[in-house]
Amino acid sequence: MAQKLRVFAAVAMAATLAATTACSSSRDEDSSSGSSSNLIGIAMPTKSLERWNNDGAHLNDLLTKAGYTTTLQYADNKVDQQITQLQNMINQNPKVLVVASIDGTALSPVLEKAAQQKIKVIAYDRLINATPNVDYYATFDNYQVGKLQGEYIVKQLGLDAGKGPFNLEPFAGSSDDNNAKFFFSGAWDVLKPYVDSGKVVIPSGKKLASDADWKNVSIDGWSSQKAQSEMDNRINSFYTGGKKVDVVLSPNDSLALGIEQSLESKGYKVGTDWPVITGQDADLANTKNMLAGKQSMTVWKDTRTLGDQVAKMVDQIVKGSAVETNDTSSYNNGVKVVPSYLLAPVVVTKDDVKTKLVDSGFYTADKLGL
C-alpha cells in the first residue's frame, strides 16, 4: 500500500512539473529562459508602439551578452496582464525586475511580493507610484521633454518678438502614465504666460488654468486613433468660418501621428496652412513625416542610452556595488523619493535628422529614404 502511494505521488509530481514547464515555456514565448540564479525580468508595456520594441530588444541583448538570463514580456497595454507577467517572473525568483509600467499606481501588491523575496526593482522610463518597493528609477528628464516642446513653439512662432495671437490645440499623454503630467508641466510652464497674455489662444476652450488640469486634454493609452478623433472633433466644432489651427502641442509621436492624419483629412496642406506640431520619440513614421514637413520637431530619447544605463544598474545591483544615480529629489512616488538616473533628451528637426539620427546609427539613411 505504502509502495503504491509513493509511486502515485512520484507520477503526480512528474506530471505537475511537466505541466509547470509547459506552462512557463508558453508564457515566455518571446524570451529566453533559464536558471533563476542570474535571471533578470523585463516587463514592457506594449509591442504596439515602436519605442518599446526597441527598448526591450536592446536591454535584453545587453543583459544576455553580459551573461544574464532574461525573461522579456510585453503586456499589450493591459494592466492585469502586466501584473500576471510580473507575478510569473517573481515565481522564477529573478535577481532584478526592470519594469516599464502601464499604470504606475497599480503594482503595489505584486511588488510587495517581490520585496518579500528580496528582488530589487528598477522602474524603467515610467515611475512606479504608491509603493516603497521600487528601488531605482531610470528615465529621460521628463519635465525637460515638455520644456523643449514649449520652447520650440515659442521660438517657431516668434512669441518673444511679440507675434500672435496664434491658435493652439494642446494635448497630453495617457492619464495613467506618471510621465504624462511631467511632459505637460514642462511645456505648460513655458506656454502659459503667452496664453495669459492673449498671444496664444485655445479655440477649443480646453480649460487649462494650471499644469494640474492636464487630464482635461489627455489621450488614454497614448492612442493615435483617439488623438485623431479628438482633433477631428475640435476642428469640426471650433474651426469654422476659415479659422485655422496654427500650432499643436502634442506630447509624443503616437499622438502626433493621429493629429497629422486628422489635419490631412481636413484639408490642411504643407507649405500653406500646415501648423507647427511637436512630438517625442523619433519614431520612424514621424521622422519620415518631419522630412515631409508634416511634423515640426520631435524630442529624441535615444533608448539605447537608457538601456545601457539600466543594464549597468542591474549589474551594479547584482554585484552589490554602489548603484549610479544622478537625481535624488525629483521623483517622489507618494511614499518615497526614488533615487533616479536622468538622461538628457534632444530636439530633432527636419534639418538635423541626418546629423542626429542617421550619423548616430539610430536609423540608416536607407530606412528614411535619404
- Tell me which residues touch ligand BGC (CB under 6 A): 49, 51, 125-126, 173, 177, 179, 222, 252, 254, 280-281, 301
Query: Which residue from 258, 359, 91, 240 is spatially nearest to 248, judged by alpha carbons?
Result: 258
Q: Which residues contact 9 (CB under 8 A, 6 or more apart)?
A: none
| Closer by beta carbon to ligand BGC, 199 or else 356 | 356
Instruction: Give the nearest distance from C-beta 360 to ligand BGC in angstroms.
Output: 17
Q: Report the DSSP pairing between strands 200-201 and 166-170.
A: parallel
How far apart (Å, rounded) are the C-alpha atoms in residues 218 and 216? 6
The set of cell numbers assigned to 309 is: 544605463
| Closer by beta carbon to ligand BGC, 60 or else 303 | 303
Provide φ and ψ at 35, rounded to 5°: -65, 150
| Closer by beta carbon to ligand BGC, 262 or else 280 | 280
Q: Report the DSSP pairing between strands 297-300 and 346-349.
A: antiparallel
3-state secondary structure of 183: helix
Instruction: Give the nearest distance from C-beta 45 to ligand BGC in angstroms.
Output: 7
Instruction: Give the nearest distance from C-beta 142 to ligand BGC in angstroms.
Output: 7
205 backbone φψ class: left, alpha, beta (φ>0; ψ -120 to 50): left
Instruction: Give the nearest distance from C-beta 289 to ligand BGC in angstroms.
Output: 15
| Closer by beta carbon to ligand BGC, 51 or else 95 | 51
Instruction: Give the nearest distance from C-beta 290 to ligand BGC in angstroms.
Output: 16
AA identity, residue 30: D
| Closer by beta carbon to ligand BGC, 69 or else 280 | 280
What is the number of the residue whose Cβ is closest to ligand BGC?
A: 252
- Residue 71's alpha-carbon distances to 59, 63, 97, 259, 317, in angstroms, are 11, 11, 10, 36, 18
How far apart (Å, rounded) are the C-alpha atoms in residues 89 and 43? 9
Instruction: Give the nearest distance from C-beta 58 to ligand BGC in angstroms.
Output: 14
| Closer by beta carbon to ligand BGC, 185 or else 254 | 254
| Closer by beta carbon to ligand BGC, 194 or else 214 | 214
How far apart (Å, rounded) are the C-alpha atoms in residues 100 and 86? 11
| Closer by beta carbon to ligand BGC, 28 or else 260 | 260
Instruction: Give the nearest distance from C-beta 48 to ligand BGC in angstroms.
Output: 9
Provide φ and ψ at 359, rounded to 5°: -65, -25
Query: Which residue from 149, 238, 215, 237 is spatially nearest to 187, judged by alpha carbons?
Result: 149
Instruction: Give the nearest distance from C-beta 107 to ligand BGC in angstroms.
Output: 15
- Residue 149's alpha-carbon distances to 68, 185, 235, 291, in angstroms, are 38, 11, 22, 18
Instruction: Give the nearest distance from C-beta 319 to ligand BGC in angstroms.
Output: 28
| Closer by beta carbon to ligand BGC, 49 or else 110 | 49
